[in-house]
Every structure is written in C-alpha cells, then in structure tokens.
Amino acid sequence: MPTPDLFSLQGRRALVTGGSRGIGLTIARGLAAHGARVILNGRSSDTLDAARAALRADGFEADAVAFDVTDQSAVSDAVSRIEREQGPIDILVNNAGLQRRAPLEDFTRADWDTLLSTNISAVFFAAQAVARHMLGRGRGKIINICSVQSELARPNIAPYTATKGAVRNLTRGMATDWAKHGLQINGLAPGYFETEMNDALVRDAAFTDWLCKRTPAARWGRVEELVGAAVFLASDASSFVNGHMLTVDGGISISL
C-alpha cells in the first residue's frame, strides 16, 4: 500500500493574511507548492497583483482579496464571500502584522493602538470569522504567526512583545475552545528574518553582529526556512498537534 503523503495539501484552500510580501508571501508559496490553492490578503490590490504575478512566475495560480485585517466587518465579509464564491477555507494563516520601535516612555497612543489592532485584535477577527465556517464542517487549521519576542524582552519594542505574548495565549485559548470540534490551532514563532519589517536592523551592522553572536546558528533566518514548519502545521502531518507554538529561530530563544 502506498504511504500517504502526510504533507500534501492537495485540494485544500488557504487564506494567508499579510500575504503580499515577506513571510506571508513565502508561506503562501510553500503551501501552494504542496498543493494548496492560496488566497493572498493585504491592503492594496496593486501590491497583491504583484504578489500573484510573482507566484504565477513560479508556476502557482493564486487568488487575492484586499481588506484591512483590523476592520472586523471587512474581514467577516471577505471570509463569507470566499466561502460562498470559491469554497471552504481549510487553512487560515494569521500572518499580517507590524512592528513599531520607540523607547517605552515615548511610545505614542496612535502606535500603541495600531499595534494592538493589527497584531492581536485582527488575529481574533480572522480566526473567529473562519472558525464559524470550520466549526460546521468539523475540521480546519489555523496558524497564528507569533514571534520569539512573545517570550524575550528587547529594548524599545515592549508593546510589540505584549501583542505577540497575547497571540501566544490566544492560540492556546482557541485550541482549548475549538479542538473538540475538530479544529487545530497552532502558532509559529519566527526568530529574526530578513524582511521589509526588519529593513533597518538588517542594514545595521552592529545589530547583525549582536544577532550572530547571540544566535546558535550565527545568522539571520531566510524566510524560506519557515515553510517546512508552516506546511507541517497546515497538513495532516500535525493531526494531533493543538495549541502548540513551533519556534523557528536558529536557537536564539534557548541561548543565554
């Protein structure tokens, strides 16, 4: 008897928030390479068109839907429309997120609100909207993109750290409420990866020097190195994994 491909995503539909670039787009490409039909989200149709073209150049057709993840009714409407017009969402990757850096004493209320609405409220909005459909089907996968910063403190990013800590605990809470209905909710905690979000840090030689000394693998992560973990959590290979946070960080979170 042939061994089933535990990592196949053939016939599955995946919605990736913040799929227009960086980690989201790379995870979307990885899910597509394993057979999933992906739907990219971001705020701008133009950016999404470019992201779809990039996937098409790699041989993958993708759909795209522009909405702001912080707008709960826009999220809910988009999810309903996808379910109605395209079919069931089997996998949600809650990836959209941003970072703001400033000494805590100077942190503005506007930046605080933006961080909380994007990094934590939106995770709840998208998960709830998708779960309402998944619960009726008795299956579905939700992957919340968290961060090693959910457990490690670094200067000038305390509010970001707080949002990612909340994502970590919300992931456990979602699993607690929804696993008995067949859903699997897990998280992925990246370390430091070279994306637009980290542009300034990547260009900062002193920071890279600190990072390489501090990380057992002694380098920045490459976004492609998150794909294996994402495919594992999205596929049958992780069928009894629930409420788990999978860290992909070159070892930085276990090193003093």
Please name the residue ranges forming H helices in 179-223: 199-202, 205-214
Contact 23, 94 (CB under 8 A): no
Out of 140, 159, 190, 250, the residue judged to bind ligand NDP by CB under 6 A:
190
Stretch that binds ligand NDP, among 29-37, 57-65, 93-101, 128-136 (CB under 6 A): 93-101
- From 160, 192, 193, 232, active-site residue: 160
Amino acid at 217: A
For residue 192, indicate whether it is catalytic: no
Contacts with ligand NDP, 20-59, as mask; x by CB under 6 A: xxxxx----------------xxxx--x------------
Residues 106/166/74/184 CA torsion (nearest 10 deg): 160
Question: Among residues 95 and 184, whose Cβ is nearest to ligand NDP?
Answer: 95
Q: Site for ligand NDP (CB under 6 A): which residue of 65, 70, 143, 250?
A: 70
* Cα three-residue angle 117-168-256, rounded to 5 degrees: 120
What are the strands, taking DSSP E only, across the chain?
A: 13-16, 37-42, 62-66, 91-94, 140-145, 183-190, 245-248
Closer of 144 and 184 to ligand NDP (Cβ):
144
Residue 98: both structure tokens together:
């941003």
Asked if 186 is part of the footprint of ligand NDP (rule: CB under 6 A), the reply reads no
Catalytically annotated residues: 160
For binding to ligand NDP (CB under 6 A), which residues are involved?
Answer: 17-18, 20-24, 41-44, 47, 68-70, 95-98, 118, 145, 147, 190, 192-193, 195-198
